[in-house]
Amino acid sequence: MTSSLTINEGKPIRCKAAVCRKAGEALVIEEIQVDPPQAYEVRIKILCTSLCHTDLTFWKLDSGPAARFPRILGHEAVGVVESIGENVDGFKQGDVVLPVFHPQCEDCKDCKSSKSNWCARFADDFLSNTRRYGMASRFKDSTGEDIHHFIFVSSFSEYTVVDIAHLVKISPEIPVDKAALLGCGVSTGVGAAWKVADVEEGSTVAIFGLGAVGLAVAEGARLRGASKIIGVDLNPDKFEIGKRFGITDFVNPALYKEKTISEVVKEMTKGGVDYSFECIGLASLMEEAFNSTRTGSGKTVILGMEKYKLPVSLGSYDLLRGRTICGTLFGGLKPKLDIPILVDRYLKKELNLDGFITHELSFEEINKAFNLSMEGNSIRCVLWMDK
């Protein structure tokens, strides 16, 4: 392994990548060139990557500053360090690593505080191609044209270049396909339950949207001993699936024409849940989630990304009566600190990751993975690079 990693040090690598050239159209497997890492960067050989709904959202986006083509999507993956740039401490060739879209510079006021996972230095910018070099890209297509990165990861490629603020070293003991899940969805959900909401034993919880993030919230709440975990989803199949992750009750909004979901949840819980989580990205559901919580102590955590940027409208009297609402990226977790903890929990069999993987394909079949996700019947599809 090591010898194959050293031969390209300092040189561009030619490899395959799934390039998005037009919004909503099938990705094209092309040969690209990946430049060597600059200072503070690491070039990684991707071992496997999974598809997250956010990839789909940006794949479909055809207007606005975030719509860029051609682009290499993908942000949930595991890789091995192939080579490192200058000023890189803590990573060496051969290390098993997780690239993460959420930054942790370890230097700013926020990174030094335990109060949040915000990184004042980097977190505001999610549109640049490289962290420290603006729109400079490490990817070139066969015509020599730059290919855009995606949220500082770009894992739909055999090789990628990642800033050290976006890289976490992990134990080589964890199966890489399980580890990849911790790059986004599962960490987001579990972190939201553990760190942001801090669900305690006996709590009641409502989860709006039972995709990977929602199921991960359920898993997190289950492990904390929540007594009631209500899953809300339009797909009735999600109940059986959800049960494996701790869902105790299921609400299908399509079956309640006269009542709002929050009314249903309040009836089920004699007044409302202790914690509600919105895991889809719809302002109307964020409002329902808010209204589903208990007067006096209810807390709502927003995890979904509103694609239309619609405002969330909250009743001032409902807020005044002791409710809390907050949003979080990456479940409030600090990647370098918390991902190794989640890996450890998995290895100690205290965290279920296996259940999230419903499909496995080879990298070349990536467009099939997109279709599976859009059909709504997969949780996580893992794409293997060398299958």
For residue 74, the minimal CB distance to another protein (Å) is: 20
> Is residue 323 at the binding interface for another protein, with CB under 8 A as the rule?
yes
Query: Contact letters (x/-) for another protein, 272-311, by CB under 8 A?
Result: --x--------x--x-------xxxx----xxxxx--xxx
* Helix, strand or coil, per DSSP, at residue 204: strand
* Helix, strand or coil, per DSSP, at residue 327: strand
Q: Which of 127, 136, 319, 374 binds another protein (CB under 8 A)?
A: 319
Query: Contact letters (x/-) for another protein, 110-139, by CB under 8 A?
Result: x--x-xxxx-x--xx---------------
- Cβ atoms within 10 Å of 260's Cβ, excluding its own: 15
DSSP annotation string for 223-282: HTT-SEEEEE-S-THHHHHHHTTT--EEE-GGG-SSS-HHHHHHHHTTS-BSEEEE-S--
For residue 283, the minimal CB distance to another protein (Å) is: 5
- Is the CB of residue 98 less than 8 Å from the CB of residue 152? no
Question: If residue 190 lies in a helix (H) or strand (E), which one and from where to where?
Answer: helix 185-191
For residue 302, the minimal CB distance to another protein (Å) is: 5
For residue 123, the minimal CB distance to another protein (Å) is: 7
Contacting another protein within 328-387 (CB under 8 A): 328-329, 332
Residue 124 identity: D
**Count of residues binding another protein (CB under 8 A)?**
44
* Helix, strand or coil, per DSSP, at residue 310: coil
Q: Return the closest-CA partner of residue 361 out of 384, 337, 331, 379.
A: 384
Q: Which of 11, 259, 321, 387 binds another protein (CB under 8 A)?
A: 321
Show the CA angle centred on residue 45, arms to residues 213 and 141, nearest 5°: 95
CA–CA dist 291, 312 (Å, integer): 12
Q: Which is nearer to another protein, 180 or 312 (CB)?
A: 312
> Is residue 210 at the binding interface for another protein, with CB under 8 A as the rule?
no
Query: Contact letters (x/-) for another protein, 255-274, by CB under 8 A?
Result: ----------------x--x
Query: Could you tell me how far CA 272 lies from the centroid of its own chain?
Result: 28
For residue 116, the minimal CB distance to another protein (Å) is: 4
Q: Which of 4, 10, 64, 317 binds another protein (CB under 8 A)?
A: 317
Q: Rule CB under 8 A: which residues touch another protein?
A: 110, 113, 115-118, 120, 123-124, 271, 274, 283, 286, 294-297, 302-306, 309-329, 332
